[in-house]
Structure 1
Amino acid sequence: MLVEDAIALVPSIPGRRALLGMAGAPAAGKSTLARRLVHGVNARLGADMAAYVPMDGFHLSNAQLARLGRAGRKGAPDTFDVDGYVHLLRRLRSSHERPVYVPEFDRRLEEPIAAGLVVLPQVRLIITEGNYLADDGPGWEAVRDLLDELWFVDAPRAVRERRLLRRHIRGGRSEPEAHAFIASSERPNADRVEAARANCNRVVTTRE
């Protein structure tokens, strides 16, 4: 059903692109769903008709977070390069003749990686996801106007926090450190994301 809805967004006019955004709290399942939809669209319409573009590639580096005194708040809206992300979305809408290289986020390194992904000229549907695509804060409010549709990906808090706990332990934090970071950073970020739910076109719920 969701693959069919994504396919329906693919422009019928050659040379045009559609952008589908997915907002949601940390560990709601946005990246997993986005990748599945890209795979499903490509399986139906042909290779490289859809591409995945994560907002997380615009995390500020750990060096910049340390410089700004925001290392303990990593994941908050002001720990991303929102202007760079908005510029990329505009470029993806207007550029169809050459590949567009896209940064991605490496969870093992906890750092963004330049040109980790590529959007090829033939791509007709771009699926982008991140916490703050529906946000009304400075810079973020420009995102919605660049998207054809914006879905809110939801999951119960208990499910999200179990996923976050596993994620942070795999990333090198001890269990007490992971619980502390979830309480001090991830929960407030999730509350902010939830507050923007009404800015989305539909809600998609994921579960374990």
Structure 2
Amino acid sequence: MEQTEIELTERAIKLLRDKPSNQRVLIGLAGSPGSGKSTMSSNVTDRINKKFGEEISIVLDQDGYHYTREELSKFPDPELAFKRRGAPFTFNPKGFLDLIHELQKPITTESKDILAPSFNHKKKDPEPNSRRITPQHRIIIIEGNYVLLRDEYWKEISKIVDEKWKIKVDPINARRRIIKRHLEAGISASEEEAIERCDNNDMVNAVYISENSVEPDLIIDSIDEIQG
């Protein structure tokens, strides 16, 4: 895992060196649930920042663009929307894409901080304007299950980012991680409930990702210990 993170760190830094000084490096990091995206993106970002001695890199994850529970309640089939929350159709990809377009713009002396939402797991809803991306943030890892999808809006992300990374994970390992995560996070009250949620939602999403994503520039082997 450490060697992989070192190699990804150096790869991201090379992208920055090859980029005009007034533009950000945008990296799309995708993978199915349980592949380790969150851990990998966080660790690589930390390594980049330690290399530079300041925070020039940040992770932007798609979770802030979940539709809120209020929005889901207005769906044509609210019961299905809540049951399948986390599937592509329960996200606002246009809003996510709009933010990425902002990050794509050249940095000038007039550039201001860009605010983005994150997901509040206690409230089970997005938290508006809770992430701050400053002009000093030059390497952005855009992380999420669906950032490399071929679907409407999502597919535009692949055209914008400088590189597309995808984590490959064994489905058995992913399933084990997801069930454990649901229990530890209190998402499921029992192992039976965690298994049902995993098999009827997360693993369904994993198949969709596998069948409907663009080809990445780099495939990363998941490490058994990492989570995300």
1:137 aligned to which of 151, 160, 163? 151
Q: In 1, Cα distance between the equivalents of 2:157 and 2:180?
A: 30
Q: Tell me the equivalent position of 2:3.
A: none
Per-residue CA deviations over 1:32-85 (Å, capped at 9, x if unaligned) read: 111111111111123121111001110111222222110111111110000000
Unaligned runs of 5+ in 2: 1-6
Q: In 2, Cα distance between the equivalents of 1:6 and 1:159?
A: 27
Q: In 1, Cα distance between the equivalents of 2:126 and 2:150?
A: 24
Q: In 2, Cα distance between the equivalents of 1:60 and 1:102?
A: 14
1:204 aligns with 2:210: no
Q: Which amino acid aligns with 2:186?
A: G
Q: Tell me the equivalent position of 1:30.
A: 37
2:50 aligned to which of 31, 40, 43? 43
CA RMSD of aligned residues (A): 1.5
Q: Tell me the equivalent position of 1:171.
A: 186
Q: Tell me the equivalent position of 1:105.
A: 119
Q: Tell me the equivalent position of 1:188.
A: 204
Q: In 2, Cα distance between the equivalents of 1:172 and 1:72?
A: 13
Tell me the CA shift for residue 197 of structure 1.
Answer: 5.2
Q: Which amino acid aligns with 1:84?
A: G
Tell me the CA shift for residue 198 of structure 1.
Answer: 5.0
Secondary structure class of the residue paired with 1:67: coil
Segments ≥4 residues shifted beyond 3 Å:
none
Q: Which amino acid aligns with 1:51?
A: I
Within 5 A, what are the aligned runs for 1:31-180? 31-68=38-75, 69=78, 70-94=81-105, 96=107, 97-169=111-183, 170-173=185-188, 174-180=190-196
Task: Normalising by structure 2, report the TM-score.
Answer: 0.86
Task: Normalising by structure 1, report the TM-score.
Answer: 0.94
Decide whether aligned partners of structure 1 residues 168 and 72 sit closer, same or farther in structure 2, where only a CA change above 3 A counts.
same
Q: In 1, Cα distance between the equivalents of 2:60 and 2:214?
A: 23
Secondary structure class of the residue paired with 1:85: helix
- Is the CA contact 1:48–1:120 (under 8 Å) kept in the aligned structure 2? no
Secondary structure class of the residue paired with 1:10: helix
Q: Which amino acid aligns with 1:115?
A: N
Tell me the CA shift for residue 13 of structure 1.
Answer: 2.8
Identical residues among aligned pairs (%): 28
Q: How many residues align?
A: 208
